[in-house]
Amino acid sequence: MARFVLSIHCAPSDHDTTQRLVKFAHACLAQGHTIDAIFLYQQGVFHASQHLNLASDELAISALWQTLYEKKINLMLCVTAAEKRGLDITKKGIFSIAGLAEFAMLASDADKWVQFK
Amino acid sequence: MARFVLSIHCAPSDHDTTQRLVKFAHACLAQGHTIDAIFLYQQGVFHASQHLNLASDELAISALWQTLYEKKINLMLCVTAAEKRGLDITKKGIFSIAGLAEFAMLASDADKWVQFK
Amino acid sequence: MSTLHIFSKPISYYATERLANLIQEHDSVLLVGDACYSTYLYRQFSSDLLFLAEDALARGLTINESDNALNYADFVALTLSTSQSITW
Amino acid sequence: MSTLHIFSKPISYYATERLANLIQEHDSVLLVGDACYSTYLYRQFSSDLLFLAEDALARGLTINESDNALNYADFVALTLSTSQSITW
Amino acid sequence: MINVLVLSQHSPFDDMHIRDALDMTLIFAAIEQNISWLFTGPAVLALKKGQHTDPLGLKNYFKSIKTLEIYDVENIYVCEKSLVDFNLAKSDLLINVNVLDFAAQSKLIATQHQVVNL
Amino acid sequence: MINVLVLSQHSPFDDMHIRDALDMTLIFAAIEQNISWLFTGPAVLALKKGQHTDPLGLKNYFKSIKTLEIYDVENIYVCEKSLVDFNLAKSDLLINVNVLDFAAQSKLIATQHQVVNL
């Protein structure tokens, strides 16, 4: 069984990429693989916003991240990327605040790193 | 003398475009023109974030918007674009919350609409 | 030692000439999202294109029996059967 | 009735063929930001390119006397002397 | 009443570009300006028939495109060359559109008061 | 120790792409992995000498690029074709780099454990 890290680089307004990352993550787990971390980097940091307000016919982004959190996946928010982009890191919800070094170490130990953008 | 509206479409992490919009706006005013509104749309809504935390050698984005606010320019934040992207619209600072219709009416009355992206 | 190249947009989004030169014959090319609209334009990168079935179907494309249409389990397996992936 | 076309990135970011066909001879083409690195590549859009002087200088480019180098006052004036602008 | 042109160049699910353009088009129609919408490049794919992105969880905005006429948005233009590039015929499209060559697109742009590229 | 390749394709002031790539490169060097950084397309412009963006208020990250060697980042690669496209010679660049043709770039990619495109 393999160890994955995933990273998301696009804003939550990119619904298509978001749903793809979530499905890929669940498919990994279904095959018995491990996901050591999903890293929110570049515009991807905004996925950790606690203020997403979407209509009911839109992709339920917050609920999708919740499904990954419930599978005990470490959802890591890059703190420097977040601060430069104006995300309120005091309200992080299910996301953990991390430095680039923490993620780079996990990525170095993982078998595969797949980017979503 | 002409009436302008400007719009910004890129995130605050695009420092280059941001400084250009600000300089263009001040140059408009210096020539005696009016700026009826600057509209934050698409990823541009994040300029209204109250949580930008930049190092001192970075572009002072919040201070630049303040200079435009002090010139009494209406800094309009598109509410639907903001909600879809996760911006906290309860903390709007110097920006005013507006619908697309309000901006479209100003754009219809203006002589020129210049986009920054 | 083959690389998985992942594309999610129509080919006009990419530096076609550069990529055509970089992608090797034994590499895998996977089309997802909006890249599925125009799979045929991607033939210059690989004669053996892979694409995500549900993304193609959602976009109104018909899948032929000869097509390499993948589901998510296949996508995961593909990342493991290649040495590394690049999301362009 | 001329249009001002504004570009802020190197030309490879744009659909060159389509734009070359859309831009009219009497239109104005203004290069700002990272478009200033490679002004010569933009000649296919116009024989009379305009660019923002301070953006070009910051990027280490030298400005010749024959160049149409603009400051921000010129940029504002240009938006008024053209009928409409498009930021590509 | 002024002439406003919305320009779309992005592919259908590239961020929210096409949806932002749709919103902008509908708003200008609502405030009774003479609005036009021009699709070029991969944006023409947003007019393609037979798309059902609801199974992916993505909002099916193609339904709203189909209702543009109801909202009195009649000036929908499509770049001829882009249709060819994506192998699309007029009959493959969701709605009735005006197909324009480059010269006609330039003319369309020249008659506008404002052009917004989204 | 694994081989990690950072890929840069964006122009110098397109959002924070190059700076994000610089941060990523430095971090992998700091945790002592075998890091390489490949510049292709407009990204090669980030290596151009004589740029002073401080007057624009933009962070002069070119200074940090110059210090890469101090941080033991020695594997800096540049696409040969992209240098030609932007009319740049090796002597126009801030630092000493390895210029690679397409075959050499493909080989570089093939020897990596992870490739990150920023």
Q: Please name the member of A17, A27, A114 whose beta carbon is closest to the beta carbon of C8.
A: A17
In terms of Cβ atoms closer than 10 Å to its own Cβ (0-12, 13-18, 19+), residue C60 is middle
Mean pLDDT score, C75-86 = 98
- Does residue E2 contact residue E113 with C-beta atoms inside 8 Å? yes
Return all residues near F4 (Cβ < 8 A) that are at least 6 apart.
A107, A108, F28, F33, F34, F35, F36, F112, F113, F114, F115, F116
Q: How confident is the model at residue F7 (pLDDT cuts 50, 70, 90)?
A: very high
Mean pLDDT score, D60-83 = 96
Per residue, the 3-state secondary structure of E44-73, as one string, reads HHHHECCCCCHHHCCCCCHHHHHCCCCCCC
- Does residue C75 contact residue C52 with C-beta atoms inside 8 Å? yes
pLDDT-above-70 percentage for chain E: 100
Q: Which positions in chain D touch E82 (Cβ < 8 Å)?
A: 18
Q: Which of B28, B37, B48, B78 is catalytic?
A: B78
Q: Summarize pLDDT for F53-70 with one digit per residue, the tens.
A: 999 999 999 999 999 988
Per residue, the 3-state secondary structure of D26-88, as one string, reads CCEEEECHHHHHHHHHHHHCCCCCEEEHHHHHHCCCCCCCCCEEECHHHHHHHHHHCCEEEEC
CB–CB contact F20 A101 (8 Å):
no
* Neighbouring C-beta atoms of residue D87, cutoff 10 Å: 22
Q: How confident is the model at residue A100 (pLDDT cuts 50, 70, 90)?
A: very high
CA–CA dist C45, C32 (Å, integer): 15
Q: Does C20 touch chain A (CB under 8 A)?
A: no
Q: Domain B3-22+34-47+58-115 is classified in which CATH homologous superfamily?
A: DsrEFH-like (3.40.1260.10)
Are E and D close enough to touch, i.e. 3+ CB pairs under 8 angstroms? yes
Q: Which positions in chain A touch F5 (Cβ < 8 Å)?
A: none
pLDDT-above-70 percentage for chain D: 100
pLDDT at residue C1 is higher than 80? no
Q: Summarize pLDDT for C17-49 with one digit per residue, the tens.
A: 999 999 999 999 999 999 999 999 999 999 889
Q: Which positions in chain B touch D79 (Cβ < 8 Å)?
A: 4, 112, 114
The three-point CA angle F59-A40-B9 to 5° equals 55
Largest CA distance in chain C: 35
Return all residues near B48 (Cβ < 8 A) that are at least 6 apart.
B40, B75, B77, B82, B87, B92, B93, B95
Q: Please name the member of D40, D54, D60 whose beta carbon is closest to the beta carbon of F50.
A: D60
- Does residue E60 contact residue E49 with C-beta atoms inside 8 Å? no
Ramachandran region, residue E88 (left: φ > 0; alpha: ψ -120 to 50; beta: rest): beta
The mean pLDDT value of chain E amounts to: 96
ipTM of the prediction: 0.97
Q: Please name the member of A13, A83, A86 whose beta carbon is closest to the beta carbon of B84.
A: A13
Q: Please name the member of F42, F45, F56 whose beta carbon is closest to the beta carbon of D54.
A: F56
- Does residue B92 contact residue B79 with C-beta atoms inside 8 Å? no
pLDDT-above-90 percentage for chain E: 95
CB–CB contact F118 A113 (8 Å):
no
Structure tokens at A66: 């919740």
F18 φ/ψ angles, rounded to the nearest 5 degrees: -70, -40
Q: Which positions in chain C touch F111 (Cβ < 8 Å)?
A: 1
Interface test with B, best of F51, F58, F64 (most B CBs within 10 A): F58
Are A and D close enough to touch, i.e. 3+ CB pairs under 8 angstroms? no
The mean pLDDT value of chain A amounts to: 97
Return all residues near A63 (Cβ < 8 A) that are at least 6 apart.
none
Task: Specify the DSSP element, H or E, that contains A24.
Answer: helix A15-30
What amino acid occupies position B76?
Answer: M
Q: Summarize pLDDT for D10-48 with one digit per residue, the tens.
A: 999 999 999 999 999 999 999 999 999 999 999 999 988
Residue pointed to by tokens 């006009």: C12
Residues F3-117, CATH architecture = 3-Layer(aba) Sandwich (3.40)
pTM of the model: 0.97
Q: Measured between CA atoms, how close is C26 to chain A, in angstroms? A: 19
Pairing mode, strands D50-52 and E114-117? unpaired
CB–CB contact A107 F27 (8 Å):
no
Report helix angle C72-81 to A15-30, nearest 10.
70
CA–CA dist D70, B83 (Å, integer): 38
Ramachandran region, residue E57 (left: φ > 0; alpha: ψ -120 to 50; beta: rest): left
Structure tokens at C37: 């609209």
- Does residue C78 contact residue C70 with C-beta atoms inside 8 Å? yes
Domain ranges for chain E: 3-117
Length of chain B (residues):
117
Structure tokens at E37: 């919408």
What amino acid occupies position C2?
Answer: S
Residue of E nearest to D20 (CA): E102
Task: Give start and end residues of each alpha helix (H) in F13-86.
Answer: 17-30, 62-66, 80-85
Q: Summarize pLDDT for F76-106 with one digit per residue, the tens.
A: 999 999 999 999 999 999 999 999 999 999 9
Residue-level pLDDT at F69: 85
- Does residue A111 contact residue A13 with C-beta atoms inside 8 Å? no
pLDDT at residue D1 is higher than 80? no
Taking the alpha carbons at both ends of chain E, their separation in whole angstroms is: 22
Q: What SS3 state is found at B72?
A: coil
Distances (CA, A) of D83 to E16, E21, F10: 29, 22, 32
Q: How confident is the model at residue D82 (pLDDT cuts 50, 70, 90)?
A: very high
- Does residue E39 contact residue E100 with C-beta atoms inside 8 Å? no
Mean pLDDT score, A78-102 = 96
- DSSP secondary structure code for residue F48 in this structure: B
Q: Measured between CA atoms, how close is A67 to chain E, in angstroms? A: 15
What amino acid occupies position A59?
Answer: L
Query: Which 47-106 residues of chain A touch chain C by CB within 8 A?
Result: none
- Does residue B45 contact residue B82 with C-beta atoms inside 8 Å? yes
pLDDT-above-70 percentage for chain B: 100
CB–CB contact A100 F24 (8 Å):
yes
What amino acid occupies position B2?
Answer: A
Catalytic, B28? Answer no
Beta bridge partners of B75: B38
Residue-level pLDDT at E72: 81
pLDDT at residue D65 is higher than 80? yes
Residue pointed to by tokens 């024989």: D47
Ramachandran region, residue B116 (left: φ > 0; alpha: ψ -120 to 50; beta: rest): beta
Residue-level pLDDT at C35: 98
Interface test with C, best of E16, E51, E82 (most C CBs within 10 A): E51
Interface test with E, best of A8, A13, A14, A15 (most E CBs within 10 A): A15
What amino acid occupies position D88?
Answer: W
Q: Summarize pLDDT for B24-64 with one digit per residue, the tens.
A: 999 999 999 999 999 999 999 999 999 999 999 999 999 99
CB–CB contact C15 F117 (8 Å):
no
Q: Measured between CA atoms, how close is F38 to chain D, in angstroms? A: 18
B26 φ/ψ angles, rounded to the nearest 5 degrees: -65, -35
Q: What SS3 state is found at A34?
A: strand
Q: Which of A25, A48, A68, A78 is catalytic?
A: A78
Structure tokens at A72: 């005990």
